[in-house]
Amino acid sequence: MTYVSHVRPRWSDMDVYGHVNHANMVTLLEEARIPVLFGDAVKAGLTELPKGVVVVKLSVHYRLPIVVAPDTTVRVEITLAEVKAASITLTYRVHTGSEESDPVAVTAETVLAPYDTVKLRPRRLTAEETDFLKRVFAGA
């Protein structure tokens, strides 16, 4: 199962060609994952995960442009592809609109690592964090 987030692109996200540019698409991916990795994690009682998660690797594949119009909202489906001791891999499917039936405009993948902001280095996921991630992305 996937975690679904709806994100609203801003007019300023468009480039001279009239569609969301790369840097802003990366920001939209970030905005889509923040509710689960920070908001839902806090609600689940996890205190360290929201303190720091860094992007280790990012790839973005564009299929269609996303054009910003009044009331544009895009559907971002996020899947937990892999959990390792010190990283997670998320895959994304960004639709041109808010419906599942809207065409997929972008596919992407991020490898994320939990980060210790005191020791200034990546850290391992706790068992509770791993369980949380598996549970929330499984829709449980």
Residue 42 lies in domain: 3-137
Q: Mind listing the pLDDT tens digit for each residue in 60-117?
A: 999 999 988 888 899 999 999 999 999 999 999 999 999 999 999 999 999 999 999 9
If DSSP states are collapsed to H, E and C, what string results for the chain? CCEEEEECCCHHHECCCCCECHHHHHHHHHHHHHHHHHHHHHHCCCCCHHHCEEEEEEEEEECCCCCCCCCCCEEEEEEEEEECCCCEEEEEEEECCCCCCCCEEEEEEEEEEEEECCCCEECCCCHHHHHHHHHHHCCC
Q: How far apart are CA 101 and CA 49, in angstroms?
A: 33
At 137, the pLDDT band (50, 70, 90 cuts) reads confident
At 139, the pLDDT band (50, 70, 90 cuts) reads low
Q: Residue 78: beta bridge partners?
A: 3, 92
Handedness of CA 2, 134, 36, 83 (dihedral sign): negative
Q: What confidence score (pLDDT) does residue 18 get? A: 83
94: domain CATH number is 3.10.129.10
Taking residues 2-18, report their average pLDDT. 90
Taking residues 13-20, report their average pLDDT. 87
How many structural domains compose the chain? 1
At 1, the pLDDT band (50, 70, 90 cuts) reads low
φ, ψ of residue 133 to 5 degrees: the values are -60, -45
At 140, the pLDDT band (50, 70, 90 cuts) reads very low
